[in-house]
Amino acid sequence: MSASARPFRRILVANRGEIAVRIIRACRDLDIATVAVFSTADRDALHVRLADAAICVGPPAPAGSYLHQRNLLSAAHLAGAEAVHPGYGFLAENADFATAVEQCGLTWIGPAPSSIRTLGDKSGGREAAAAAGVPVLEGGPLPEQSAEAAEFADGIGYPLMLKAAAGGGGRGMRVVRDRAGLRTALQSAAKEAVAAFGNGELIVERLLERPRHIEVQVFGDSFGRAVQLGERDCSIQRRHQKLLEEAPAPRLGADLRRSLGEAALRLAKRVGYANAGTVEFLVDGARFYFLEMNTRIQVEHPVTEAVTGVDLVKLQIVAAAGEPLGLPDGIGTSGHAIECRVNAEDPETFAPSPGTLRRYRPPAGPGVRVDSHCFEGAEMPPHYDSLLAKVVAHGRDRAEAISRMARALREFEVDGIHTTLPLMRRIVESRPFADAELDTGFLERLKRQGEG
């Protein structure tokens, strides 16, 4: 982890937005030069300004720029990069791109393509988890024929959850309450999955009503060693997309916390996992079930960094260079951390709100960190994810973290576009959140309280 080691001389950052900025700053800490890529819509973006070099890779549409593998590889070759960091989203979990990077003689900063291929598909992930002795929900891949799919679903029992086998971020997911609603749900979920991931395959699982969503951060190196860095609670969501995360998960219980960490580590070791990864679980009372494994750095990684003191992005780079982790088996935590995602969206409808940031004044002060790519006068284009900033508050305990987060959200000023700041303030200042009454139905209950 020493900056003097300088594992690479130059890294291409194959992403945009706040995660590209985050990677560039980690590289600076390690005295590594960076190459940014950008679309014509991002010519004046912060990640372009911060990098040591920048190359345009195409038009605004992601398919012609940030998802265009040949353009990205050409940029890496032209810039003399030795490694590629994909961040999250775009091509971060694309095994074919990871393979192409390695075939070009570059280092892929992430897990091996074989791990991405096995775990990136939900069916493969379920099989690997079951083989590692990790509980999985009843279900599996859906047959392609509708009659066979209906029979398979009937065998599991309703209600059910349909999921895109190759997807994430809530896309291609549908709740099915009975057989009458199955056909329509199958068609719409498959259509959305094809549009988002180019793959219409679906899996189905027994639905848990309002579980907690808990994930465990794991990290492996090329020497076969893996560690877990604690868990995060990601239960507060809208449309199966996370809004707020915190570490450690409150009101979890020592036995369940230990069991979740052990299960995540068993899966990582079973597949010989290297680099950063997150094993996600649904928790129903004292029982838990494997949900999926994300083979990349997570959006919410800063809360784990805050409570462990481990820079996960720097660790990704060092591990990819073939260095051992240099971490103890039992990594302790200190205090409590909360992350709020602030999106360029209408806080009521969640409709995207692109435009110009006429005012952008992020919070600061003790225990507050803001990861963002924004500045006053910046354009928020309509072509990409709506994330503006991640506000992270760290305190000695959960109460202090909540207090600092509430203060930070009140200080945060954005004008020119709609944002989810009003919603995040309401969540953090609510009594149910203070009491840690957390599950995936949290936002729905909070909305009903407001209407009542």
Pick the closest to residue 13 from 29, 31, 2, 25 (CA basis). 25
Confidence of residue 239 (pLDDT cuts 50, 70, 90): confident
Identify whether 296 is a catalytic site residue: yes
Contact 298, 242 (CB under 8 A): no
Q: What stretches of 289-395 show up as alpha helix (H) in DSSP? A: 301-308, 312-320
Confidence of residue 362 (pLDDT cuts 50, 70, 90): very high
pLDDT tens across 420-443, in order?
999 999 999 999 999 999 999 999
| Burial zone of 170 (CB within 10 Å; 0-12 exposed, 13-18 middle, 19+ buried) | middle
Contact 242, 234 (CB under 8 A): yes
pLDDT tens across 257-311, in order?
999 999 999 999 999 999 999 999 999 999 999 999 999 999 999 999 999 999 9
For residue 435, the tally of other CB atoms under 10 A from its CB is 10
Q: Is the pLDDT score of 235 beyond 90?
A: yes
**Which pLDDT score, from 0 to 100, does residue 3 have?**
43
- Domain ranges in the chain are 3-109, 138-206, 212-451
Confidence of residue 372 (pLDDT cuts 50, 70, 90): very high
pLDDT tens across 159-177, in order?
999 998 886 767 889 999 9
The residues near 147 (Cβ < 8 Å, ≥ 6 apart) are none
Has domain 212-451 been given CATH number 3.30.70.270? Answer: no
User: Which token pair is 50?
Assistant: 């911060």
Mean pLDDT of 305-330: 96
Of residues 296, 341, 369, 404, which has the active-site annotation?
296
3-109 and 138-206, same CATH topology: no
The rounded distance, in Å, linking the Cα atoms of 388 and 430 is 23
Mean pLDDT of 204-216: 95
Q: Which residue has the higher pLDDT, 371 or 143?
A: 371
**Which pLDDT score, from 0 to 100, does residue 195 have?**
79
- For 138-206, CATH number out of 1.10.10.10, 3.40.920.10, 1.25.40.10, 3.30.1490.20 equals 3.30.1490.20
**Which pLDDT score, from 0 to 100, does residue 196 have?**
74
Beta strand ranges found along 364-407 (DSSP E): 368-372, 379-380, 387-395
The rounded distance, in Å, linking the Cα atoms of 395 and 161 is 37
DSSP H/E element including 204: strand 202-206
* Mean pLDDT value across the chain: 94
Mean pLDDT of 107-134: 94
Confidence (pTM): 0.94
Confidence of residue 1 (pLDDT cuts 50, 70, 90): very low
CATH number of 3-109: 3.40.50.20
Q: Is the pLDDT score of 330 beyond 90?
A: no
Mean pLDDT of 204-220: 96
For residue 12, the tally of other CB atoms under 10 A from its CB is 29
Mean pLDDT of 81-105: 97
